[in-house]
Chains A and B, each alone.
Chain A
């Protein structure tokens, strides 16, 4: 367990406000903070994006390298997703190997991409059984004001959308671009006082006991879900969270991807 600093006074304040229908920053329950996106910010990466949701700031860089395929998928490229919760992003982040939170985030983002088949892995095959492109998706948290997973997932897809395959660097020939087959979008909601709130900021995340991330595709199908937090959710709450998830994913996809 990491150092989860829960300021009781702030928690109560959040709860009280929500009880009277308001959020600390004045947003509606179904309203995202302002989202901004910058593409291609890191020249040395094959793909990159910086996503801000409110004060949360996440940088994603994608690097490609030839490597060996998995034995059970000899003609498919490999995706490896990692997240670094670097200490500069938050007083709670410590330096050291990834903790359970960063491992969870990376794996959830990874599942969203993998299950939606957003990347056509067969197009990443260089030589069947011998050499394929390994796609490293590295998520670098810069500022944690809550809801890292939505920002990270959005940054990952944005990075992948304009990827440049570095054939020249490795003396290979082939396609230099990789069209995406789908654009999965993660939408996270929390439950506080029986209300469902989308895009929790840091205080709301700590005040809530349950969080659900819903990752959905262009056609509204679900590709991944993850409940986290030490609380429980009712069936109706989950249904509402899924509705919001699909709805907001559509809005975000239209605006940014």
Chain B
């Protein structure tokens, strides 16, 4: 039997957060020189980096799509990212996460603008504290924009869960391990369209609905941060001599 631990003390979570509070987020755009687009993203103790290469020529030729770009997504965890060293290389979990992450972004990428090419999205988890796939999707969205990929919108992502009967936002690793449900969500905030939805655990239908709404509202907050990071990058900084060009 797994040991029971108390995740809530006097109605507050162990890290002091309220039920609907996100962990601190940090976003940096264009952090890699060689990639066409990149983003470093922190969500609490999660540290992830996303890079986009492309559109570029696709090989093998027979796998090309004559009408649109093929998007590939690779989620990978560094061996030192977790407590018990993770053997390098893809495993079943990262395969599934890569698939659902790609499907979370596909709806917004306008692939028809670059037929026969491939767009590669690489997400590396450098440090993990639950919610890595959501951090990865957030970072990948920003990296895709940074790479100049034509998109309809950004995608924003967060997970909700249930601990000691309470529906809460953005579980950390402890809460994920000992909690009762875990539900990652991704959304296009402008259209309120859900592009990623997974759930694992035990939720009543009503708890699920509440959790989904909580996730959607948090995604809107995250969207503002993603947007700010991209806009601020090109804000007029130190410039001597104004005047029109």
Contacts and interface: CB of A to CB of B under 8 A. Distances in A.
A217 B102 CA distance: 29
A152 B203 CA distance: 23
Contacts of B72: 1
B173 interface: no
B212 A238 contact: yes
A233 B194 contact: yes
Interface string B102-141: 1100110000000000000000000000000000000000
Interface stretch (A25-33, A56-64, A219-227): A219-227
B76 interface: no
B198 A100 contact: no
Contacts of A103: 92, 95-96, 99
Contact of A242 (B2, B70, B191, B205): B205
B103 A73 contact: no
Interface of A: 1, 72-73, 75-76, 98, 100-101, 103-104, 106-107, 111, 115-116, 122, 209, 212, 217, 220-235, 238-239, 242, 246
Interface of B: 1-2, 70, 72, 92-93, 95-96, 98-100, 102-103, 106-107, 181, 183, 188, 191-205, 208-209, 212-213, 216
Given A1-B72, A103-B95, A228-B103, A122 B197 contact: no
B194 A238 contact: yes
Contact of B96 (A104, A230, A234, A235): A104
A116 B208 CA distance: 15
Contact of B197 (A217, A223, A227): A227
A223 B103 CA distance: 22
A230 to B, nearest CB: 4
A242 B103 CA distance: 20
Nearest to A232: B193
Contacts of A234: 192-194
A212 B194 CA distance: 11
A235 B204 contact: no
Contacts of B203: 221-222
Contacts of B213: 235
Given A103-B95, A103-B96, A228-B103, A222 B205 contact: yes
Contacts of A220: 204-205
Contacts of B188: 232
Given A100-B98, A107-B92, A242-B205, A233 B199 contact: no
A230 B204 contact: no
Given A235-B192, A238-B194, A242-B208, A100 B96 contact: yes
Contact of A230 (B107, B181, B212): B107
Given A104-B99, A107-B93, A233-B197, 11 more contacts: A1-B72, A107-B96, A115-B202, A212-B197, A220-B205, A221-B204, A222-B204, A229-B103, A230-B107, A234-B193, A235-B213
Most A-side CB within 10 Å, residue of B72, B183, B196, B201 = B201
B220 to A, nearest CB: 13
Contacts of A239: 209
Contact of A223 (B107, B193, B198, B202): B202
5 contacts: A104-B95, A106-B92, A122-B1, A222-B205, A226-B199
A181 to B, nearest CB: 12
Most A-side CB within 10 Å, residue of B70, B72, B93, B203 = B203
A191 B181 CA distance: 26
B121 to A, nearest CB: 13
A229 B106 CA distance: 9
Nearest to B107: A232
B92 to A, nearest CB: 5
Contacts of A116: 202
